[in-house]
Structure 1
Amino acid sequence: MSSSSFSSFYSTWFEQLNQLVQQLSAAPRPPTTHDQHQDLEKLVAKTLTHYTEYYKVKSAEAQRDVFNVFAAPWASSLERSLHWIAGWRPTTVFHLVYTESSTLFESHIVDILRGLRTGDLGDLSPSQFRRVSELQCETVKEENAITDELSEWQDGASELVGDCSASVDEKIRLLVSIVQKADDLRLRTVRRVVDLLTTQQAVEFLIAAAELQFGVRKWGLDQDRRRGRFG
C-alpha cells in the first residue's frame, strides 16, 4: 500500500467511523428491551472491530514505510503535534472517562441524590472507578516503557548514517516494532475500558472518544486550510 493509498484508506475509514457514531448516537439509551440491549452490544462490537481494522492496516503500512507513518501526511498539523509514537497517547482514554463521568454526574446530581440510577458514565460504581484507576496505572507503566524504547532507539539514530545496510534494516525493524507496540497498547486500552463498562456506558464512551477525534481533526484541518497546507 502506497502513502496515497493509506491516506485514501484513512479517509474512508474515518467516514465509516462517523457513520458508526451516528448509529451509536441514534440508539436508545438506556435500552429498555432485550433486543435493544443486543443491538447496542452489536454496535459496540462493530465499532471495536472498526478500530481493529485500522490498526491492522496501519501495521502493514508501518512495515512498508515506518517513517511515513510517523510523518502521517493524512493528519492535520494539530493532530501530528498531539501524537505520541505515531498516534494518540493511550492514557488520554482515562482523562476522557473521568471528564465525561464528572460532567454527567453534575448534570444528574439531583436524580442521584434522590437515589435514582442513571446507568450512564456519570453513574460509575466504586468498583468501576477502582478498576479504571488500576488500568490507568498499568497503562502508564506500559506507556513509559515504550517511550523508553523509542528514546533508546533515537539515541542510536546516528548509526543510520553510513552504517551497513543490514544494521540499518535492523534499526528500521526495531522502530516498526515500537510503533506496533504503541498501537497495540492503544487498542488494548480502549478494549479493556469498554470491558469494564456497561453496554450503555461503553456506547457513551465510544461516542465521546470519536467526537473528540472528530473535533480535533476538524479544527486542525480548518487551521491548515487557512495556512494553505491542506486542500
Structure 2
Amino acid sequence: MAEQSSSDCGGSFNSFYETWFQQLHQLVRQLRLCPNPPTTHDHRAAVSNLVQTIMSHYSDYYQVKSAAAERDVLQMFTAPWATSLERSLHWIAGWRPTTLFHLVYTESSILFESHIVDILKGLKTGDLGDLSPTQFRRVSELQCDTVREENAITDELSEWQDGASDLVGCLTEGVERKVRKLVGILRKADDLRLKTVRRVVELLTPQQAVEFLIAAAELQFGVRGWGQDQDGVRRCC
C-alpha cells in the first residue's frame, strides 16, 4: 500500500470527524429522551448504558486521532476540519480539560437557581443543581489535579517550542525526533482530556451524568455552529 500524503491524512481524519460528530448528535438526542430522573431499574440501566456508549464514542475519537497524529501530527495542530473559532479556543490541538469544571459549576448554578423554591422546602431534585457537599469537594479536588497536569503539559510544550531553533540545519533524524516528541505531548493532552471527562462522569449520578454530557455536547455544537457561520461570512466578503 502506498504511503498517505499529508493532505490524504488530513482528509481522512476530516471525513472521520464529520461522521463522528454526526453520531454524537444522534447519541445526544437519545440522551435527551432519557427519563429524568430514571424511575425504574430498567430505566437506570438504560441510562447507564447510554452514558457508557457516549464515553466509548469519545474514546474512539481519541484512538483515531492518536493514529492520525502518528502519521502527521502537524495536521492535528492546524486542524483543517475545525472552524477558525474552534482553533482559536484550542489548547494543544483540542479543548482545555479544565473547561469541564466551569461547565459543571455553571450548570449547577443555573439549575440550583431554577429550583431554589423546592430546595428551600427540603425537596431533592437529583440533578446537577443538587450536587452534594461530597460531590463538590471531589469536583474541586479533581479540578486542582487537572490544573496541575495541564500546567505540566503546557510547560513541556513550551520547552519544545523554545527548542524550535534546533530544527534549523537539523538532519532528518533530528527533525523526526523533534516531531516524535510533539506527538507524545499531544497524546498526553488527549489522555488528560479523556481522563477528565471520565472522572467527572464517575463523580455524578446517572441523571447528573446525562445532564453534564448534554451540556458539554451542546457547548461543542454551539461553538462549531457559530464558527461555521463566521467562516461563511468571511468567505462571502
Q: What TM-score do you get using the length of structure 2 for normalisation?
A: 0.96
**Residue ranges of structure 2 left out of the alignment (5+ in a row):** 1-7
**SS where residue 227 of structure 1 aligns?**
helix
1:165 offset after TM fit, Å?
A: 1.2
Match of 1:121 among 128, 134, 139: 128
Aligned: 1:52 with 2:38: no
Question: Structure 1 vs Structure 2: percent identity of aligned residues?
Answer: 72
**SS where residue 36 of structure 2 aligns?**
coil
Match of 1:162 among 166, 169, 187: 169
Deviation readout 1:70-124 (Å, 9 max, x if unpaired): 0000000000000000000000000000000000000000000011100000000
What one-letter code is carried by the residue in structure 1 that aligns with 2:187? Answer: Q
Match of 2:114 among 102, 107, 112: 107
**Residue ranges of structure 1 left out of the alignment (5+ in a row):** none
Deviation readout 1:101-148 (Å, 9 max, x if unpaired): 000000000000011100000000000000000000000000000000
1:159 offset after TM fit, Å?
A: 1.2
Report 1:34-49 matches (<5 A).
34-49=41-56
**SS where residue 24 of structure 1 aligns?**
helix
Separation of aligned partners in 1, 2:42 and 2:104: 27
1:167 offset after TM fit, Å?
A: 1.1
What one-letter code is carried by the residue in structure 2 that aligns with 1:214? Answer: F
**SS where residue 162 of structure 1 aligns?**
coil
1:228 offset after TM fit, Å?
A: 1.1
Separation of aligned partners in 2, 1:26 and 1:70: 36
Separation of aligned partners in 2, 1:207 and 1:162: 49
Separation of aligned partners in 2, 1:157 and 1:205: 40
1:2 offset after TM fit, Å?
A: 1.6
1:194 offset after TM fit, Å?
A: 0.2
Separation of aligned partners in 2, 1:87 and 1:178: 12
Aligned: 1:223 with 2:230: yes
Two-structure CA RMSD over aligned residues (Å) = 0.8
**SS where residue 222 of structure 2 aligns?**
helix
Give the aligned length. Answer: 229
Match of 2:156 among 149, 152, 174: 149
Tell me the equivalent position of 1:72.
Answer: 79
Separation of aligned partners in 2, 1:115 and 1:192: 29
**Where does structure 1 differ by over 4 angstroms across 4 or more consecutive aligned residues?**
none
Match of 2:137 among 119, 125, 130: 130
Tell me the equivalent position of 1:25.
Answer: 32
Separation of aligned partners in 2, 1:34 and 1:41: 11
1:14 offset after TM fit, Å?
A: 0.2
Report 1:164-203 matches (<5 A).
164-203=171-210
Separation of aligned partners in 2, 1:100 and 1:216: 17
Separation of aligned partners in 1, 2:187 and 2:181: 10
Separation of aligned partners in 1, 2:156 and 2:120: 48
Tell me the equivalent position of 1:63.
Answer: 70
Q: What TM-score do you get using the length of structure 1 for normalisation?
A: 0.98
Deviation readout 1:144-195 (Å, 9 max, x if unpaired): 0000000000000111121011111110000000000000000000000000
